[in-house]
Amino acid sequence: QQQVKQSPQSLIVQKGGISIINCAYENTAFDYFPWYQQFPGKGPALLIAIRPDVSEKKEGRFTISFNKSAKQFSLHIMDSQPGDSATYFCAASRQPGTYKYIFGTGTRLKVLA
Amino acid sequence: EADIYQTPRYLVIGTGKKITLECSQTMGHDKMYWYQQDPGMELHLIHYSYGVNSTEKGDLSSESTVSRIRTEHFPLTLESARPSHTSQYLCASSESGQGDGELFFGEGSRLTVL
């Protein structure tokens, strides 16, 4: 019940295409869902986040879609660029306000030039 | 750019050695965390701290210990390293209060125990 399941494990997209990464959770107590981006040799950095009171949040080319009834959320990267090549982690806040996140297993995205 | 620093970045040591991974942040954050990142990428919380003299174990059982004597400093220690401790260790911090709880990560310490 504490897991966050992320798919796919790896993804290859052509430049200009749409990258879609999916996550699913079980614990309905989760109330904050961030996505982190990690480049090789670096620590993860917050990319975008959403709370369950909205179904979608967009920041530039990055959009989170949230389906509360299905307990699923996804990251969409529009017009994917080679610079987006990184590992993406979804996460969920296990105890609201404590920021002790459960992370997904990560998706390694490669955008071909 | 986050102001959280980890040293060493890379460490290769023999079995049985004592090691300390250093983590410091200059943002004045009360909350700090240690995550273990497996070679396959997954992150697991192993320690966290809500402030000075406050430390607790995370989800993943770890033989490491931590201390929080100063707000800015959160070192992790392994008294006797084993090959099973080989991993990347990521330190993070976050603000207190009711904010969104963004984690600021360091660049990690990659530990290899031979």
Would you place residue B81 in the very low, low, confident or very high pLDDT band (cuts 50, 70, 90)? Answer: very high
Rounded mean pLDDT of A86-98? 82
> Count of A–B CB contacts within 8 Å?
60
Q: What percent of chain B has pLDDT over 70?
A: 92
The alpha carbons of chain A give a radius of gyration, in whole angstroms, of 13
pLDDT digits (tens, 9 = 90+) for A19-42: 999 999 998 888 889 999 999 989
**Contact list, B42 vs chain A (CB under 8 Å):** 103-106
* Closest chain A residue by Cα to residue B3: A43
The CA distance from B82 to B86, in Å, is 8
* Model pLDDT, residue B86: 94
Q: Are A56 and A65 in contact (CB under 8 A)?
A: yes
pLDDT digits (tens, 9 = 90+) for B35-80: 999 876 779 999 999 999 999 998 888 889 999 999 999 999 999 9
Mean pLDDT of chain A: 92
The CA distance from A96 to B108, in Å, is 26
Rounded mean pLDDT of A77-106? 88
Q: Kindly tell me if the per-residue pLDDT of A10 is higher than 70.
A: yes
How long is chain A? 113
